[in-house]
Amino acid sequence: MDMYPDNQELTLNGEKVMWPGVDASGKFTNGDFNDPLVPPSFIPAETINLILDNLTGLIKRSGGTPNNTSTSQLADAIDRRFIQIFQTGYVQWPGMPSPLEDTSLHFEGYSWHEVSYEGNFFRSKGRNAKAFSAKRLTKEQIRNGAYIFQDDEQGDAIRNIEGFQTFFYTDMLSASSSPLFSLSTWNEYGGRSHGNGQGLTGNLIFNASRVVPTAEENRSRNLTFTIWVLVKD
């Protein structure tokens, strides 16, 4: 099934002819000038109207206004549609040319600008990834290389690291800790004593979460992206 009309057998002046006279492949033909029995095709008005109606629909769908004078309106409609799509973003995957290199992506009156995300890693939506952000950079921010997503990005983190070390301690020594370490309660150690004080034991506790962000995963600062694929219903 295509846009070409089907042949119909007609009888003209007692002779059977095929109208509109498409060839064996179903396409219009110029006929055979060496064989009068193979006439050229006749293109019906319905076919012309179908073509024009489809072109009109395409131009309108792309936001244009069809007319009967412009020779570039179809190309303009296609460009306009691509511009509408690319203004929402273009992802350059590994091995793909940049839109600056690919001249088929050049449009009069428009310039490509690389959007700055300050070296963020990107991760697909799901599991431990932070919810997808619908925030968009403005045209001015894109031109200026501005970056505004700090409040929406997911910060870097590591899996927590914990541990302890048991120490012998005397009451003549000072007990102190740093942000990374903490000290447990000191306990008397089996009545053992030293000449300079009572013997005690305690744990020097290490916990990375006291000084760095921790999570169920090791990760760099990142923004969540979502990949969509259009699938026919």
Q: Are residues 128 and 13 in the same domain?
A: no
- The fraction of the chain above a pLDDT of 90, given in percent, is 17
Domain that holds residue 194: 158-212
Residue 229 binned pLDDT confidence (cut-offs 50, 70, 90): low
Residue 89 lies in a domain: no
Higher pLDDT, 201 or 171: 201
Residue 2 binned pLDDT confidence (cut-offs 50, 70, 90): confident
Does the model's pTM come out above 0.75?
no
pLDDT in tens, 24-68: 888 888 888 888 778 888 888 999 999 999 999 999 998 899 999
Question: What is the SS3 assignment for 50?
Answer: helix
Q: Are residues 140 and 233 in the same domain?
A: yes
pLDDT in tens, 186-201: 665 554 444 455 566 7
Residue-level pLDDT at 65? 93
Residue 97 lies in a domain: no
Residue 158 binned pLDDT confidence (cut-offs 50, 70, 90): very high
Amino acid at the residue 56: T
Closest C-alpha among 132, 135, 136, 123 to residue 87: 136
The two tokens of residue 146 are 């501005």
Which residue has tokens 């179903």?
26
Tell me how crowded residue 137 is: count the other CB atoms within 10 A of its CB.
19
Residue-level pLDDT at 77? 92
Tell me the range of 2-16, 192-206, 210-224 where mean pLDDT is highest. Answer: 210-224
Higher pLDDT, 219 or 2: 219
What whole-number distance in Å separates Cα of residue 83 and Cα of residue 96?
19
Q: Are residues 151 and 206 in the same domain?
A: no
Question: What is the SS3 assignment for 79?
Answer: helix
Q: Are residues 123 and 222 in the same domain?
A: yes
Residue-level pLDDT at 193? 46
Residue 99 lies in a domain: no
Q: Are residues 147 and 225 in the same domain?
A: yes
Cα 92–chain centre separation: 9
In Å, how far are 11, 12, 21, 39, 119 from 16, measured between CA atoms? 4, 6, 12, 13, 75
Q: Are residues 118 and 73 in the same domain?
A: no
Residue-level pLDDT at 121? 83
> Structural domain tally of the chain?
3
